[in-house]
Each structure stands twice: as C-alpha cells, then as structure tokens.
Chains A and B, each alone.
Chain A
Amino acid sequence: MTPPPDHAAVPSASDAAPVAVATAPAGPPPSDTEHRRREAQRAAGREGARRTVAQIGFYTFVSLVLAFFSLPLLWLAVAPFDANPGLSASLPEFTLQNFQVLWDNPYAMRSLGNSVILAGGTGLLVVTFAALAAYALSRVRLPGRDMLLYVLLLLSSIVTGTAAMVPLFNLATELRLIDSQLGVILVLSGGLLPSAIFILKDFMDGTPRSYEESARVFGASPFQIMRDIVVPVVRPGLATIGVWSVAQVWGNFLIPFLLLRSPDQYPAAVVMYTFYTEGGQANLALISTFSLLYSVPVILMFLFVSSRYGFRFHGGIKR
C-alpha cells in the first residue's frame, strides 16, 4: 500500500489542522514558540489574502488584455460569413455568398495575384543575392568586411520607406520604374537585403568550415560545394529569410502605393485601402472576405516559421 502521490508530496490542510486545534486552547501564557507560531499564522493569513487579491488582479488584467486584442479581430472572424455584414461584430447569419462577391470583383483577385508577384519576386531576389553575399562575406576575408556590415545594418535602419519616400519616388521616375512591378521589387529588395545578409551570414558562420574543406579535398569545385553542401546545410536559414521577405512585402503598403499608378497593378494592400476610402457605400461583403483571404497567407507563414524555428528569431527581425 502506497499513499496517493499528492498526499505524500504536499502536506495537506488535514495534516496541519489537528496540531493547530491541539495547541490553540492549551497555552495560557503565550510562550516564545507560541508567539512565533501565531506570528507565522498571521503572516500566512496575510499571504493568503494577498494571493487572492493578486489572483483577482491577474484575471482582471488578462480579461482586459484579451478583450482589447480580440475586439477588433472579431469582425474579421465573423463578417465574412454574415449574410448582412455590418460594421459591428455580431452573431452572423451564416453564408458563403460573400465569397462570390469577392470572386466577382475585378480588382480583388487580381490584386492578390499582384501581391504574389511582388512578394515572390522580392523573396527570390533577396534570398539569392543575400545568400551569395553572406556566403562570400562569411568565408572570405574581404577588405573592410566588418565595416561594410556595420554600415549596411545602419543604413537599413535609417533609410526607411517613409524617410526616403521623396527620393525613391524621384528615382523611380528617373529610371522609368513608376507604375512598374519591377520597380517595387527592386526598391523593396534594396531595403530588405542588409538585414537578410546579416542574418544569413550569422547562419553561415555557424556552419563548420570543415564541410567545405572536406568537399574541397575530394576535388569539388566552388560551384559544387555551394550546390551540394552549403545550400542544403543552410536551407533553414534560406527558408526563414524567404518567408520573412515574403511576409514583409505582402503587408507593405507604402512602396506600392507610392510607385504604382494603374489599379490593375495594385497589390492587395493598396486595393484594400481603395476599397474603403473610395466614395460611396463601402461594400462590407467584399471588404470582409477580401481581408480574410488577404490575411490567411500571413497567418500560415507565421505558423510555419514559428513551428519550424520558433518565433523569437522571426520576432527579432521584423520591421
């Protein structure tokens, strides 16, 4: 016979109670130990009260936080499926009809396609160029390398889209890249590359050189080493940078808003904005379903990154 484990582990109230009952009426002159015991009991009582207050405070705070963060989101979860979507979140009269509205809109689906082009193009460019640069910087001691990395990182945090919108607009005009998706891709890539290089270089620095040296002794050419060894070994890093760049571009509003002119070039971020700023009654069926469809890839990417590599890393580099 063994006692139940919780009984053994925690001295329960029933263990302590008889002692308290036996001692409380027994001592006429409160001895020193008695005094100390009372003191401890009082402290325990205070502690209990404090703990209750703390518990109430904790759950109040958590409820407020939950309410604050979920309130705006409720609409996104409910309205797309509501037959009569209003602006407030309410129990929906379930329908999928709104998605038909979305499908029929000439700009909505095309803008998602445009977003895919912009995000995919930028992602590809950033991953390729950043990987090449990071590899060379990690493995070959080019003169001024550390300074270069420092300046790059500094540049990327200083020259933001907002601070540089005037010259970026001018530059695109001069290079005839206004209203061109290529222009948006190039500008976004330029902004994302420094951080991407920095992070990938960290990845490359973390992989043993002996992999490459070993392949080299077997006679592999630099190209073979890249293809057979380096790329597969740093694939997690490449994937992370790819997802990160895609997520950055997918949500970016300012640069396409600045550089694109014709509505059929607009990515989803800009089309979403025009949906609710253009005159007339806002089409809530359209806006709600479009918001949802436009948001789903971001959520999927987030889940992918956080399940594969944890979110801490991604968190550190989001801008």
Chain B
Amino acid sequence: MNGSKGRPLAGAPAGRTGGSDAAGLGRRRAAGFVAPAMLLIVAFLLFPALWTVYLGLTDYQLTGFAAANPQVVGLENYDRALGDDRFSNSLVLTLQFVLGSAVLGQAVLGFAIAWLMRNRVGALRRTVEALVLLAWILPSSVITFLWIALLDRDGGTLNALLNTPGTAWLLEYPMASIIVFNIWKGAAFSMMLYAAALGNVPPSHLETARLAGAGTFQQLRDVVFPRIKGHVLTNLLLISLWTFNDFTPFLLTAGGPENRTEIMPVFIYRIALESGELGFGAAISVLMLLINLVIALVYMRLLRQRKDASA
C-alpha cells in the first residue's frame, strides 16, 4: 500500500471539484462539441433502428407498385415469418453457427491456446499468437478467398493433404465449413481475452492447489475458473453477438447450396436486397435487433457489476 497515507488528502480536492469545468468550456460550447458526433449517431444508428421497426410493418418493396406506395400491413410480415420454412431453417442454422463456431469453437480453442501458452515465452508463443491474430486481422474478403482456395474441389490444399481428391467441401459440408472457417477467423479474440484473464490469476493460488495435489482439471475447476468467470461470460456474450451479426459467411457460400448456410444476416440480405422484399426483410431485422438488445443488455449489466465490484 504505497503512499496510501497521502492519498485521501491529495484526492479530496480533486474529487470535490471533479465535475467542474477544467478548461472553462461552459455548457453551451460543450454541447456544441458533442453535437456533430450526436448528429451522425442519430442519423445513421438511432434513426435506422427505429425506422426498421416501421418498415417491418409495411409491404415495402424495392421495385414495383409497393415501392412507390408502401402500405402498412401490421404484423403480417411477422405472421408470415412464423409460417415460413425458410425463416425457421435460417433460425436453426444461425443457432448452429453461433453455438458451434463461437460458444464451442472460438471460446474453447481460444482458451486452450491461452492456457497452454500462459507460462511460455519466446518464439513458439509468438509464432502461435501471430498466426492466430493474422487470421483475425486480415480483411474478410481476403481470408474467404484463402479458404475457397484451401477447400477447392480440384486444386485445394486440403484435398491434396488429406488425399481426398474431388471432395467439394463447400458443397458437401457447407455448414461445417463455415463453422470451422469462423473458428479460424475469430479464435484470436478469445485467446487474447483469456490470456489477459489468466494473467490475473495469482500464481500462488495455482501453486497452492498444486501443493495440495490437484491435477490440471482440478486446478482449472477450483482455482482458475472461479477467478475468470466474469471474463468467460464477457467473452461468450461478445463473440456470440459478433458471430450472430457476421456477414462474412456470405462471401464463402452466399447462403447456398440450397439455403443450407443461409444464416440470418444472409437471409435478410437475400430477402430484402436480392428479392426486393424490404418490408419482410425489415421485420426479420427487428427480430435480430431484439436479440442483439438482449445480449447487449446482459453484457452491459455485467460490465456495470464488474465496475462496481472493482470500485
């Protein structure tokens, strides 16, 4: 507790005057500073969200009569969605995609790498981390082509390596392909988050467990997990949110073959912008916004609890 004695006295005036306007900006000028950012956010974030709700209640079309003259049709779009096989198919695929690639794939692989590399320094760790990160930071349209090349039926590296010539992975196993692809693309975030979290587990706790004779699994269960629970939850929420909103699989399979990879973002795109049914697409978007809202609210609540706990 270095210098804790002087702290309260030194901190007191700062805390008391904390809200004051250090640069003498004044409220009007401050509001002026905030305004341009707010304008953009309201126009291109808040307004679209609200407008989606309205559009979802109309029969708005990209072209044709309803384009010029959209009618409010109430909940008809939602009614239609409930009876639509293609929509329920999309919902199931989305669930598979999020659970398989994010919750199971990215989180588990990311944790495994972070755990095994936690005490390592040097070239091995740097190489592994660099490769995992590279997959994450490269532009999505580049990595999708890399995977198209990797999985190609005739000239792909994977077939050459596995000695399975002629296997068209993207056509025969389309869902598995985009799941593995997304694990590859996104494991970096989980790896970094867990690496940071594991760095906060005091070594003495692990050593105490080891002295008591705990094996790796017991150490993980009894010492590590209780300390990084918050990180795990944060990680799962964020990667679920991002995976749920990920449009990249479209670049790989465009929803096909036969809608077998038509996860929700792709579904919306094809309905609204390829088929031109903007109203119906908007209704599905509202559902997506609601799901996002739920995840985000849980996440924000978690953040606030953590902040309170640390304060």
Contacts and interface: CB of A to CB of B under 8 A. Distances in A.
A299 B45 CA distance: 29
A219 to B, nearest CB: 11
Interface in B1-42: 14, 17, 19-27, 29-31, 33-34, 36-38, 40-41
B142 A294 contact: yes
B282 A132 contact: no
The listed residue with most B CB atoms (<10 A of its CB), out of A163, A212, A315, is A163
Interface stretch (A11-19, A31-39, A98-106, A164-172): A164-172
A267 to B, nearest CB: 10
B57 interface: no
B242 A319 contact: yes
A309 interface: no
Contacts of A216: 22-24
A235 to B, nearest CB: 17
Contacts of A56: none
A61 B117 CA distance: 11
A311 B188 CA distance: 11
A273 interface: yes
B25 A162 contact: no
Contact of B247 (A62, A161, A247, A250): A161
B255 interface: no
Contact of B36 (A58, A129, A250): A129
Contacts of B40: 125, 129, 186, 189-190, 193
Nearest to B113: A65
A253 B24 contact: no
A251 B143 CA distance: 11
B182 interface: no
B288 A162 contact: yes
A156 B45 contact: yes
B116 A75 contact: no
B150 A171 contact: no
Given A129-B37, A136-B30, A273-B141, A74 B246 contact: no
A263 interface: no
Interface in B263-311: 265, 268-269, 272-273, 278, 281-282, 285, 288-289, 292-293, 295-297, 299-300
A88 B116 contact: no
B152 interface: yes
Contact of A159 (B45, B116, B124): B45
B122 to A, nearest CB: 13
Contacts of B20: 209
Nearest to B149: A87
Contacts of B149: 72, 75, 79, 87-88
A193 B37 CA distance: 7
B128 interface: yes
Contacts of A268: 139, 141
A230 B141 contact: no
B300 A150 contact: yes
Nearest to B289: A163
The listed residue with most B CB atoms (<10 A of its CB), out of A140, A191, A273, is A140
B96 interface: no
B279 to A, nearest CB: 9
B288 A163 contact: yes
Contact of A209 (B14, B192, B282): B14
A193 B289 CA distance: 19
B87 interface: no
A295 B141 CA distance: 10
A140 B188 CA distance: 38
B142 A222 contact: no
B184 A69 contact: yes
A84 B292 CA distance: 46
Contacts of B288: 162-163
B169 interface: no
Contacts of A154: 293, 296-297, 300
A62 B146 CA distance: 22
Given A87-B157, A142-B31, A164-B285, A222 B45 contact: no
Interface stretch (B47-55, B201-209, B221-229): B47-55
B41 A194 contact: yes
Given A140-B25, A157-B295, A167-B285, 20 more contacts: A87-B152, A129-B37, A129-B40, A132-B34, A139-B21, A156-B45, A157-B241, A159-B45, A162-B269, A162-B288, A163-B245, A164-B285, A167-B55, A170-B55, A222-B25, A230-B23, A272-B141, A273-B141, A291-B142, A295-B139
A-B pairs, 9 with minimum CB distance: A190-B44, A87-B155, A136-B33, A209-B22, A167-B48, A140-B30, A136-B30, A162-B265, A133-B37
Interface of A: 58, 61-62, 65-66, 68-76, 79, 86-89, 125, 129-130, 132-133, 135-137, 139-142, 150, 152-171, 186-187, 189-191, 193-194, 197, 209-210, 212-213, 215-216, 222, 225-226, 230, 247, 250-251, 253-254, 258, 268-270, 272-273, 276, 287, 291, 294-295, 298-299, 302, 311-312, 315-316, 318-319
21 contacts: A66-B127, A68-B184, A69-B132, A70-B131, A72-B150, A74-B157, A75-B150, A87-B154, A87-B157, A129-B37, A140-B30, A158-B289, A159-B45, A162-B268, A166-B278, A171-B43, A209-B17, A216-B22, A226-B23, A253-B251, A273-B141
Interface of B: 14, 17, 19-27, 29-31, 33-34, 36-38, 40-41, 43-49, 51-52, 55, 60, 109, 112-113, 116, 124, 127-128, 131-150, 152, 154-158, 160-161, 184, 188-189, 192-193, 196, 241-242, 245-248, 251, 265, 268-269, 272-273, 278, 281-282, 285, 288-289, 292-293, 295-297, 299-300
